[in-house]
Structure 1
Amino acid sequence: MTTLESGFQREKYTSGHSLVGRRLLRVGIINASNAKDSRDVGDALNVLDLNLQNHQLVPFHRVEKWTGEYFRPGGLWEVGIRLYLGHNGKRCPVQLPLNESTHGTSIGAEGYVGNGIQSAAENNYWSGTSLAADEYSRNGTRDAAEVTDTHDIGPTPANNDEESFTSQLLADPEIPTLFELDDGDDEDINLYEELDTSFHDQPRPRAEDNDGIPFKVIIHTSGVHYLPVRTCTCRSAMLPLDLQYLEMGLFATSFQNIRTLFTLEVLEDFRVTNLECKTSGYQYYQKLRRITSPSFPKQVLNRYRELRRLSRQYRNLILHKIHGQGHSEQALKAYMELKYPQQGSEMHPDQEPFGSITPPEPGQTRNNSSSRQSEPNEDSERNDTTSRLEVDPGDSDPNNMSPEPPSRNEPDKRGSLTLFCPACPQPGVNLPDDWVLEADSDIYIRSYVADGNFKADHLNQKNEGDDVWLSVGEGFMTDPGPYKEHIKEAISLAPRYKREPTCHNYHAQKAENRVSPGKRVRGIGAHACARHGCFCPNSVVDFDKGEKQMHMDWSLTQARETTNTKGITRHLEIYDINCQYCVNLMKRLTDSTKMHWPPSVKITFAIGLFHVHGHKSECLYNYASTYIPGVGIIDGEILEPLWSVLNDTSRSTRSATTAHRAEVLDDHMGDSNWKKTINMAATIAAKYKRAGEQSGITEAFYRNLTEQQPPELVDTWEQEIKQAEFDRDQGVSDAMSQVMASKVKTAAGRQEIELHLSNMELTSSGATGKAAWISSGLKLEQAQLELRSHVRKLGTHPSTAQQLDLVNKRRSMRTRVEAFSRTALTFLGEEALESIQGVNTPVLDDEVSDDEIADIGNVNITRADPERQPLPFPSALLDDYFRDLEEGMAHQLKGLQKLELRIRQGHAEDCLEAVRSALIQLSWQYKYQVRMADSVYTGTRAWDGVKLLNASWKLHKKIYNANRIAMIRIAGHSEEDIMQIRREFPVLYDHDCKHSAAISDPNVRGGSSDRLSWIWRSRQGLNADNQLYVNECELSFLLTLQTI
């Protein structure tokens, strides 16, 4: 591959683009008033009277030919187009003109001339003449001016009648290669019937033209083309034939007996299309077939297999060129020796390349096809430096498969074909020479984020040993050899570190040991820079079963070793399960013989800002990046949007070979890093401006907060947080939670408040059971809301069974409402109860969800339905009722309203907790059920869970807002009480109940900067007269201190 790389780099750097179209010259004169370019617009015909000028540099236009009745697709080979190798696309000067007497000289299959080359040189046939004169005038049989028709000099189209075509097809050895049925086609189909329409619509050439020049299949961005190609026979023939083609911008599909070629333009177009549109090789080649023959695309040659193989080689060459590895001394030396061989001396770049070239003797040819095929030593030498991935039908040497991936050799090439983040601190790259004087500064913290992706799975391969690796460990996928050795050792050491998890609230480890039949790999894990989202070289690992610590250990060490961290002693590791992952990490790294971690490098562990809320409350203060000084504002979820983009390639890599899958993933991750690199300056500038604005707001809040507190209290707070941070650095896992969690008091729920009030009733002289009665009414109110939602979902035309079920539900509901009303008579009195029953129950605007039908027009809903009967709560009494009421009764009812208010406050807290719990479960459902579903069945079950969780939080949102309205109604005309309720219990909207965009829609614009809703904050009210107010101020102080 070394020689091929050097030749590829030379031609790419020389021309700046592929040479096809720039160096091609066509041979022949055309009388083409019956042809037009297929790009013509309207009725105007661009006839090819000047076809020599129009298509001299564009040999891959699609043209059409007039048949006398209609225009049919045609090929430029029909009008005499030929391609010449060498000499900038001109005919080789030592070749005799065609149709001229060669004194016994024959033209071989590749266009090489036997006897008479020397005489051709003596007759000066390489002088610059016109195209017609070049072919026919110089000592030829006719004068160029007399040539007006090419029917006797151009190739003869194939005969299209069935008998003639079939005989030609069976007799011509070239045709089986040119024609290839799709894998799904019936092999017994009549071959002529399969091709008959295609050949009438777009004829194909025979194996050779009239002059013995073989036709080649050339695939370009404009489709599949056929053109005769004549090779060079002089000094350019010193190069192997495939490199001659490469100099012309044509990539051969084989190295001997070449029959199919791809232009560099089509390979580059496929690569860019795959990177941007995630188009697979199959889809792309189907597009080329449709471009070639829109009406009969299946009749076009199937070169999908060759496209896959060449795209791999081209991708590998491009990556070597991008990263400056195409002009190594070894590669250049090998290329120059082939290009300009010297007699008796070694070639040097400063030597005159042509001075000592000896012209061929008469009767001899230079490196023609027959002589090259008879010299196996030459081919075997080239096989050592050229990777052959698959065998073209014309390639006779299939013994090129490597049974095992090659191991990495010195020097260390890990990540040598990658681009890392230009903004992360890297000694020797973007740091000043004296940076070590401030090595402990926060700006030199290297931050990583780790995560797993179970969409990038891989199926078992039938012939794993036949896989061919073009690069191993030079991209983002880790070297499989050392990685397998590490996994083998880690499995043997695993019992040392086995322990029960201490955090049971987060479910990431539930998928650790899942086994998926038929899959070689269940997913991948990776590290990226936490601030900018650039993948770390050589850090992407495969998960054989699930996301295990041994996998991420290797990814972490490789990320540190391949991202220029020499001298950096502070690392930040953000990982979803760091509360468990970090426990024995240093022991695992120390005991391993395959991994290395310098003792001087300290790791600070953190959890992403969304996932941390799925852990225990202690994990929030110990591992949330918000509470880690020096890391700034960082959410730690940046890999989620990167996975969203990468997952679009999973359909094409899932069944690819192991090596091909690694190359595609490397290319896409490299493209992701490249896009971030070119946009880095603008992104940082925008973030810097936004950070400046937020910093001013935060500093003002911090200043106001500290000015309101005694100085000695602020000093105490600062000492507490500094000690907690120091203890955390020393390994005290709960140091931060001991300081932070004690400041947050969880608000009491309905049951706690009911218990407290019931105990008070037992010690008082009044009636008992009031708190239990109000609490049961709240449960009944929730049941009414659930039944309303159920009725709406039934729609306007429920089935008989559904109607019967609804009748039974309403019967049960009516019984419960009547029982509650009878108990209310005891506490409220008959007069108050009659006043309440005349009040209509309001329907909230947000009570009707997207999957429900509104009440209007629904014949199944009436005001008499039990789910719409107003419940006789004390809060249902209007202010007008108390005007004429005696003072004692009014005081008693007011007391019941205050009792209801306290219980409703607890009930509202329960609703918020239910919403939070459902959202946490919903995030887990998306990440580990929906995203990991590998079948229709599991996907359907996963989405059923999503629907249930969505219904749960929506229901509790309705109940919370209903409680809020009742609490405001109880507050009556007291503006202070109403403002207090509105401050403690804001309106709960849908956007307050959204889970992280990093889970549901990782690629949404601005999703990485989203902040959590108020529902995740402390739910205790503030009162400046009690200690709780002071605690809340301290918590705000500690939070603000981390961000200024």
Structure 2
Amino acid sequence: MSLHSKTNNFPSEPAITFQTGSDCSQNITFGNASSDEIIFDLAPQSGTKGKRKRRKKEIIISPESVFQPPSNEQLQSMSMPPDSNLNEISNPSIYPPNDASTFQPTLDFEERSDTEPYEVFTKKPHETTSKVGYTSVLKFIHPTTIAKEYRYPEMKQCHGCPDGNEGVWRCRDCLPSYVQCRCCMRKAHLQNPFHHIECWTGTHFRRAALWEVGVYIQVPHHDVTTHRICKQLHWKVQQREAFEQKMDSDELQKYAFSTHPGRTETKAESWMQADTDVEMSDADWVAQDLLYMDGSEEEESNISAAEERKREAIFDSDLDKAYRRYGFTKASRPQQSDDEESLNEADRPSPRASEQTEPDVRHPATLKRVIHTNGYHRIRVISCSCMGPDHNVQDLVAVGLMPASFQNIRTLFTGQLLEFTRLANLELYASAYQVKELLSRMTQSLGWSMTDNIYHEFRRMLHIDRWLRKLKWSGFCHHGDPLKPLPAEFGIFCATCPQPGVNLPDDWEKDADNYIYGRTFIADGNFKADHIAHASGGDDVALYDGAGMIPNSDQYKQYIQTVEEVRTKASCENTFRAIESAMAVSKACDITGVVGVACARHSCYAPGGLTDLFRGEQQKNVDYAFVQALANTNVNVKQKVTIVYDIACQYYIHLRKRIDPLLNTIGLQGLVIDRAIGLFHVHAHKDECFFRYSPTFIPGLAYVVGEGMEPNWSALNPASVIIRSSKLFARADFLDDHTSNHNFRKMMNMSQTLTQMLVDAEREHVHHENVFSKVSASASAYVEEWTAQIEEAERQRMEDPTVMDIYGADAFNVKLLHISKHGQSRT
């Protein structure tokens, strides 16, 4: 494909030509053929068999041909005023006039005359035309971004008003963004109350808020058996609308008499206008205050003198800090007379204010602070407590607003923010503090450290949000006590492992000895998931202790304290005691790590199988995690279970003696349990351990690597760092959320995983059948004898694993056996 453009002057409509056909004989041209041409060669090259032939071509680009000015029809569809200068509006290089106190942007590009040829780029192999396109339009990207910061006199009319009222407000989140009057901006955002808007001051657009144009949130009753909009709530909304309509008319009158097209209001006029901005009667102010007097708000009459003094002290302290931060001394501070009336800007918006004034959230009749995915917002929330103060919290939750407290509500978090934070933590490992800092910068890009600190409230709401989601996903809408869930009831396990009553046929017990019904688990310790000890426990609250991936804390601690750790010595010296001894004692940490149990074939965490370590990786910690995994994953006593562990040669010696009392409590007494060592760790043991405990030599275990916990830990470790200093129950909920999400992702990809495993198994089956046939043919005299020895060893390996040493015959013994059979040595 070739691209070519020839330039003489600044064209307005370049021609675009597509060449088609095998010989490029057919041309399809758009635009003026006499002007610049952009030619695309779409014909396939002969002899390339569908491949594109690389040719070195010179590509000449005209930057002016990139910009296409709108036509008259397009401008009319944009509701442009009839007296607009179309040439000036369509020209991207037009800048705001200097008399509007704006700056003339200076581009760091070399000046070029109209007759100077453009730069010629040579397309190299494997190079796309994006470089050419970027360099050609770069000169117009910067002016376009600067032009957005200006309100052209021709575009000052409100986009939504048929009467052509002046618009000074525009939304940064709406697309496209038009200037609107106060009334139209409010009506357009009653259903989108969390957008960021701007206000034209005469020289620039300042940051504004939707409360300045009268946007509010109406909270209906959640009970569908009654009227969702009661009479009291309807009256409040009517009063608010009447008040805002008066503010709208005042704004229209101000702009109708203070300015005219082409003239900008001076600062002196703005100051004089601010003194007579809004004149309201006493009845208007009383009606406005009545809008917020309900059972959920604390009224002025109910505020005690001590509470008022406490609030004044807090305000004075904050004011002193602000003065000191900006270098004011007590003598240089601005003084306010006693008879001067102080008006809250939240209750008296001014569209011409040069700076946005944050309202005082401590006032009972002021705005609510709502935290959304795009930052902090101040907005009016109109609700009703005619059904009782407790119902007000339920009404807020029903509309998607989670209150930070349940009395004297001042701060609300949106459900979208809580979901976004959870996904950001699961996918990006972003902590609540990082999300809080992000929201602060999105709210106020300069001086974001001065924004409200909602970190503790934010963490508390995330804690509650996780609990609510677990309840919903576990079906607690119609049954069960949400405060008393069953053990591991919130857990998500593997959907593929054979589980009676879940994914096995009803008559599976007729063939219970079949290998496909066997269960295999892996266990491993992780010392990166430690926890720093706190001096005091604090207000640590457990919402679902023991209902997820981590067992009940009280029951687990009681078991650890009552069971004595007994050291066992195996014939294998390599038991990885270096790690165990290094993490045995820690003065800084009260938890030195975790032990996890998962299914060996798909690496899904077992519910209840994630336990804390207190003094290294002790056997009793692994025992409890293993038994909890058996109890919460639908294991039947007729199923054979295999545990794959790094030190299984030592761990299995007294396993039945240690866990049989626990198995009796869950109805699994007499369960057959085998042992194995993962294919990676087994090579760090003695050679005998390879033949005795390698999954390769265990019949019915199929192809199991047994190292699935290692990639699980690599995904969990970045999240563990975030919660090293958290409260214990918050840490437990955090780990439960990440491990459950791991299993959920496994489940979503299980069809692809099983499909790939089936393809690999069929391919490897054919390969190994061929290899086995060749080996059997070369040793046909010994096949029958060796088969009998292997079958006998496999029958006895559960009681005596040393019988598997027959696989360890060295080369010297094999050579002697060959000489004794044939009388001579063959190589």
TM category (shorter chain) comes to 0.5 to 0.7
After TM superposition, the structure 1 stretch with the greater mean CA deviation from structure 2, 215-224 or 81-90, is 81-90
Q: Quick check: 1:205 aligned with 2:359? A: yes
Q: Is the 8 A contact 1:178 1:301 kept in 2?
A: no
Q: Which amino acid in the other structure matches residue 785 of structure 2?
A: T
1:165-195: per-residue Cα shift (whole Å, max 9, x none)?
xxxxx989779989999xxx99797267699
- Secondary structure in structure 2 of the residue aligned to 1:721: helix
The one of 573, 581, 586 aligned to 1:504: 573
Residue 42 to residue 537, structure 1, CA distance change in 2 (3 Å):
closer
Counterparts of 1:966-985 in structure 2, within 5 Å, are none
Structure with larger RCO (C-alpha < 8 A, sep 6+): 1
1:289-339: per-residue Cα shift (whole Å, max 9, x none)?
0110111111111101101000000110001101111332767xxxxxxxx
Which position in structure 2 is the counterpart of 1:532? 602
Distance 1:705 1:581 in 2: 36
Which position in structure 2 is the counterpart of 1:37? 171
Q: Quick check: 1:306 aligned with 2:457? A: yes
Q: Quick check: 1:261 aligned with 2:330? A: no
- Secondary structure in structure 1 of the residue aligned to 2:523: strand
Q: Quick check: 1:714 aligned with 2:783? A: yes
Q: Is the 8 A contact 1:529 1:536 kept in 2?
A: yes
Residue 208 to residue 556, structure 1, CA distance change in 2 (3 Å):
closer
Distance 1:526 1:562 in 2: 14
Q: Which amino acid in the other structure matches residue 500 of structure 2?
A: P
- Secondary structure in structure 2 of the residue aligned to 1:72: strand
1:602-630: per-residue Cα shift (whole Å, max 9, x none)?
11100000100000111000001011111
- Secondary structure in structure 2 of the residue aligned to 1:243: helix
The one of 451, 473, 479 aligned to 2:524: 451
Give the gaps of 5 or more residues in structure 2: 1-163, 254-276, 289-306, 335-352
Q: Quick check: 1:247 aligned with 2:385? A: no
Residue 172 to residue 246, structure 1, CA distance change in 2 (3 Å):
farther
Which position in structure 2 is the counterpart of 1:735? 803
Q: Is the 8 A contact 1:179 1:302 kept in 2?
A: no
More strand by share: 2
TM-score by length of 2: 0.65
Which position in structure 2 is the counterpart of 1:723? 792
Q: Is the 8 A contact 2:198 2:208 kept in 1?
A: yes
Counterparts of 1:867-1016 in structure 2, within 5 Å, are none
Q: Which amino acid in the other structure matches residue 204 of structure 1?
A: E
* Deviation (angstroms), 1:578: 0.2
Counterparts of 1:160-171 in structure 2, within 5 Å, are none
Distance 1:1024 1:567 in 2: 45
Q: Which amino acid in the other structure matches residue 732 of structure 1?
A: D
Q: Quick check: 1:232 aligned with 2:384? A: yes
1:955-1003: per-residue Cα shift (whole Å, max 9, x none)?
xxxxxxxxxxxxxxxxxxxxxxxxxxxxxxxxxxxxxxxxxxxxxxxxx
Which position in structure 2 is the counterpart of 1:693? 763
Which position in structure 2 is the counterpart of 1:903? none
Q: Which amino acid in the other structure matches residue 717 of structure 1?
A: W
Distance 1:258 1:708 in 2: 84
TM-score by length of 1: 0.52
- Secondary structure in structure 1 of the residue aligned to 2:628: helix
The one of 54, 57, 65 aligned to 2:188: 54
Counterparts of 1:586-605 in structure 2, within 5 Å, are 586-590=656-660, 598-605=668-675
Distance 1:593 1:476 in 2: 19
Q: Quick check: 1:216 aligned with 2:368? A: yes
Q: Is the 8 A contact 2:167 2:180 kept in 1?
A: no
- Secondary structure in structure 2 of the residue aligned to 1:285: helix
1:217-271: per-residue Cα shift (whole Å, max 9, x none)?
1101110111122221445x57532112112211011111111110111111111
Residue-pair matches, total: 590
Which position in structure 1 is the counterpart of 2:556? 483
Counterparts of 1:572-971 in structure 2, within 5 Å, are 572-590=642-660, 598-711=668-781, 713-729=782-798, 731-737=799-805, 739-743=806-810
Residue 687 to residue 200, structure 1, CA distance change in 2 (3 Å):
farther
Q: Quick check: 1:93 aligned with 2:237? A: no
Q: Which amino acid in the other structure matches residue 623 of structure 2?
A: D
1:550-607: per-residue Cα shift (whole Å, max 9, x none)?
1001011110000001244300100000000000111112366996673421111000
Which position in structure 1 is the counterpart of 2:436? 285
- Secondary structure in structure 1 of the residue aligned to 2:809: helix
Distance 2:315 2:785 in 1: 84
Residue 619 to residue 205, structure 1, CA distance change in 2 (3 Å):
same
Q: Quick check: 1:81 aligned with 2:238? A: no
* Deviation (angstroms), 1:146: 9.1
- Secondary structure in structure 1 of the residue aligned to 2:461: helix
- Secondary structure in structure 2 of the residue aligned to 1:449: strand
Which position in structure 2 is the counterpart of 1:761? none
Residue 572 to residue 499, structure 1, CA distance change in 2 (3 Å):
closer
Distance 2:500 2:231 in 1: 56
Q: Which amino acid in the other structure matches residue 722 of structure 1?
A: E
Which position in structure 2 is the counterpart of 1:63? 197
- Secondary structure in structure 2 of the residue aligned to 1:663: helix
Distance 1:670 1:65 in 2: 46
Which position in structure 2 is the counterpart of 1:801? none
Q: Which amino acid in the other structure matches residue 570 of structure 1?
A: K
Fraction of identical pairs, as percent = 31
Distance 1:240 1:97 in 2: 19
More helix by share: 1
1:640-694: per-residue Cα shift (whole Å, max 9, x none)?
0010010011221100000000000000000000000111111101110111000
Distance 1:475 1:241 in 2: 31
| Aligned-CA RMSD value | 4.0
- Secondary structure in structure 1 of the residue aligned to 2:606: coil
- Secondary structure in structure 2 of the residue aligned to 1:699: helix
Q: Which amino acid in the other structure matches residue 268 of structure 1?
A: E
Q: Which amino acid in the other structure matches residue 630 of structure 1?
A: G
Distance 2:685 2:475 in 1: 46
Q: Is the 8 A contact 1:208 1:228 kept in 2?
A: no
Residue 726 to residue 59, structure 1, CA distance change in 2 (3 Å):
same
- Secondary structure in structure 1 of the residue aligned to 2:574: coil
Which position in structure 1 is the counterpart of 2:62? none
1:487-523: per-residue Cα shift (whole Å, max 9, x none)?
12222xx3xx434342113424652462121101000
Which position in structure 2 is the counterpart of 1:316? 467
Q: Is the 8 A contact 1:467 1:658 kept in 2?
A: yes
Q: Is the 8 A contact 1:64 1:73 kept in 2?
A: yes
* Deviation (angstroms), 1:39: 3.5
- Secondary structure in structure 1 of the residue aligned to 2:770: helix
* Deviation (angstroms), 1:413: 1.1
